[in-house]
Chains A and B, each alone.
Chain A
């Protein structure tokens, strides 16, 4: 049983990593979105191991379901077919990207992960249940919850205002 859990865990890890690599290395934008979806599915599986089936469902629903579809629509509406595939990447950009991410990884790994001794909380209150999450969402974090809803409303209205009108309308 334990071995099976471990194997499944590595399956999710591989899914996450290959998806992320595909998302950043893809030459065709649609493949990038596909890689992103695969990576997000892998992370959704990892949330199961972190004790929250609720967040797994939310991840699949919001990220894989909503955001990836929005990206696909963005590609469909915003790009003409010959622009959907990116041109061959500039060598300089790829090199700079490797440098930036490599140095960030180095510092975080050596300075933070290598030197920190994580101390668990002395005692825990509550549990991982969805009841507890909902209770603290509407009692302790009520203000943040309402702020998020306002932000989402403004984002929706702003997106509609920005994207209104057809493609021909604005191009002189």
Chain B
């Protein structure tokens, strides 16, 4: 059995990336840590698209293009999130999500 020519291998790996991403998002106590976990989840999505693209899709260009779009969105998201983190850090002097409580009643 060839693992690298099997759709389920890639799906399981993408599932693993999603799992670790969700776990990290809850476990991390800093904004940057959460951002790192988000990148893992996005990467799992990209891997899924590429796997389906290789094994099932009628047009092999579509999955590649969609993965490219995911990368572009991830880059934009990282830039925006980093600048948000900097702005929050300047206002609250903390990188801890628990410390940002202006809207807490």
Q: For residues 44 through 92 of chain A, which have their beta carbon under 8 Å from a beta carbon of chain B?
A: 46-47, 49-52, 54-55, 58-59, 62-63, 66-67, 70-71, 73-75, 77-79, 83, 86-87, 89-90
Are B20's CB and A71's CB within 8 A?
A: no
Q: Is B12 an interface residue (CB 8 A)?
A: yes
Q: What's the Cα separation between A120 and B59 when bound, in Å?
A: 11
Tell whether, in the assembled complex, residue B76 and residue A151 are in contact, meaning their CB atoms are under 8 Å apart: yes
**Would you list which residues of chain B between 50 and 84 have a CB under 8 Å from chain A?**
50-51, 53-62, 64-65, 67-69, 71-80, 82-84
The 8 Å CB contact of A10, one of B3, B26, B33, is B3
Instruction: Please count the residue pairs between chain A and chain B whose beta carbons lie under 8 angstroms apart in the complex.
Output: 253
Q: How far is the CB of A47 from chain B (nearest CB, A)?
A: 6
A47-B4 Cα distance, complex, nearest whole Å = 11
| Docked-complex contact A50 and B17, CB < 8 angstroms | no
Within the complex, the shortest CB–CB distance from A19 to chain B, in Å, comes to 9
Asked if B2 CB lies within 8 Å of chain A CBs, one says yes
Chain A proximity mask over B22-38: 1 for CB below 8 Å, otherwise 0: 11111111101101110
Chain B interface extent, by class: 35 or more
B50→A71 contact, CB < 8 A: no
User: Do residues A40 and B43 form an inter-chain contact, with CB atoms below 8 A?
Assistant: yes
A70 touches B82 (CB 8 A): yes
Q: Is B100 an interface residue (CB 8 A)?
A: no
A115 at the interface (CB under 8 A from B): no
- Bound CA–CA A105/B13 (angstroms): 11
Instruction: Indicate with 1 or 0, residue by residue over B1-18, a CB within 8 angstroms of chain A CB atoms.
Output: 011100111111101111
Q: Is the beta-carbon distance between A162 and B74 smaller than 8 angstroms?
A: no
What are 15 A-B contacts defined by CB distance under 8 Å? A6-B4, A13-B9, A23-B20, A33-B32, A46-B13, A63-B71, A78-B95, A83-B94, A93-B26, A113-B8, A127-B60, A137-B65, A155-B76, A167-B90, A171-B93
Interface residues of A (CB under 8 A from B): 2, 5-6, 9-10, 13, 16-17, 20-21, 23-24, 29, 32-33, 35-36, 39-40, 43, 46-47, 49-52, 54-55, 58-59, 62-63, 66-67, 70-71, 73-75, 77-79, 83, 86-87, 89-90, 93-94, 96-98, 100-102, 104-105, 108-109, 113, 118-128, 132-133, 135-137, 141, 144, 148, 151-152, 155-156, 158-160, 162-163, 165, 167, 169-171
